[in-house]
């Protein structure tokens, strides 16, 4: 991450990353397909979403599952890591290749949440809307958390974003026939 921060993502080479980590380039490629994977390695978040939705009690409202699940991930994975997450997010937003990979990871997470809701018996179109909403809520909250005051925890920002969404939906009223 130091190399990316000082040289930029595009200018940093795999041999430089490997050397900084005390590895050979060959060893680097055993663990990572390319240098983007240093930032995006693994599919643990989509799997966490699948597991969470599969293990949640029956009868819990889908939006409650979303807010609780996002808050849980925020508390477990992001608490105390703002100073670590912010530069990575800036790096991603500044590089086209990283933005494309980020969009792919976002699509993978959306698919995992949609599939999780489908397995809970939610009809496909409703599951798709819920999944898109969950992932959008996550990304909006994450960006607000990173650009907001240092003393506000991410679960609080998620709750605030959800309250804004809920208020906007309620203000819209019923859908006309």
Q: Are residues 36 and 103 in the same domain?
A: no
Please check the confidence at residue 128 and state whether its pLDDT lies above 80. Answer: yes
Q: Is position 177 within any domain?
A: no
95: Cβ contacts below 8 Å, ≥ 6 apart: 8, 9, 10
Would you tell me how many other CB atoms lie within 10 Å of the CB of residue 127? 20
Q: Are 154 and 74 in contact (CB under 8 A)?
A: yes
**What does DSSP assign to residue 69?**
H
Residue 131, domain CATH? 1.10.357.10
Look up residue 104 and give its two tokens.
């792919």
Instruction: State the pLDDT confidence band at 8, using cuts at 50, 70 and 90.
Output: confident
Instruction: For residue 154, give its domain range.
Output: 49-172
Residues 37 and 90 in one domain: no
Residues 60 and 117 in one domain: yes
User: Which tens digit of pLDDT belongs to each residue from 149-163?
Assistant: 999 999 999 999 999
CB 4 within 8 A of CB 12: yes
Measure the CA–CA gap between 83 and 89, rounded to whole angstroms.
11
For residues 91 and 55, state if they share a domain: yes
Q: Same domain, yes or no, for 37 and 87? A: no
Question: Token digits for 114?
Answer: 């949609």
Residues 28 and 55 grouped into a single domain: no
pLDDT of residue 106: 94
Q: Provide the percentage of residues in the chain whose pLDDT is more than 90.
A: 73
Please report whether residue 133 resides in a domain.
yes
34 lies in the same domain as 63? no
Report the CATH number that the domain containing residue 17 is assigned in CATH: 1.10.10.60
My answer on whether 31 and 100 are in the same domain is no
Residue 87 inside a domain? The answer is yes
CB-CB contact of 91 with 4 (8 Å): yes
Could you tell me the CA-to-CA distances from 151 to 85, 136, 138, 155, 157 in Å, in that order?
15, 23, 19, 12, 11
Q: How many domains does the chain have?
A: 2
Does residue 69 belong to any structural domain of this protein? yes
pTM, entire model: 0.87
- 18/65 same-domain check: no
**Rounded to the nearest 5°, which phi and psi values hold at 167?**
-60, -45
Quick check: is 112 in a domain? Answer: yes
**Ramachandran region, residue 148 (left: φ > 0; alpha: ψ -120 to 50; beta: rest):** beta
For 70-95, how does the pLDDT look when each residue is reduced to its tens digit (9 = 90+)?
999 999 889 999 998 999 999 999 99
Verify that 28 and 96 share a domain, yes or no: no
Same domain, 95 and 167: yes
């Amino acid at each position: 991450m130091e190399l990316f921060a000082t040289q930029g993502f595009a200018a940093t080479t795999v041999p430089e990353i490997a050397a900084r980590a005390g590895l050979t380039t060959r060893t680097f490629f055993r663990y990572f397909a390319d240098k983007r994977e240093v930032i995006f390695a693994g599919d643990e978040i989509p799997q966490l979403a699948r597991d969470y939705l599969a293990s949640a009690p029956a009868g819990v409202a889908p939006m409650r599952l979303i807010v609780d699940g996002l808050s849980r991930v925020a508390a477990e994975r992001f608490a105390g890591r703002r100073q670590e997450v912010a530069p990575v997010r800036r790096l991603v937003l500044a590089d086209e290749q990283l933005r494309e990979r980020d969009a792919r990871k976002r699509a993978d997470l959306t698919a995992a949440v949609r599939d999780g809701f489908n397995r809970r018996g939610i009809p496909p179109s409703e599951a798709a809307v819920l999944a898109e909403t969950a992932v959008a809520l996550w990304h909006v909250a994450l960006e607000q958390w990173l650009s907001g005051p240092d003393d506000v925890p991410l679960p609080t920002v998620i709750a605030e974003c959800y309250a804004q969404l809920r208020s906007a939906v309620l203000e819209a009223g019923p859908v006309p026939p």
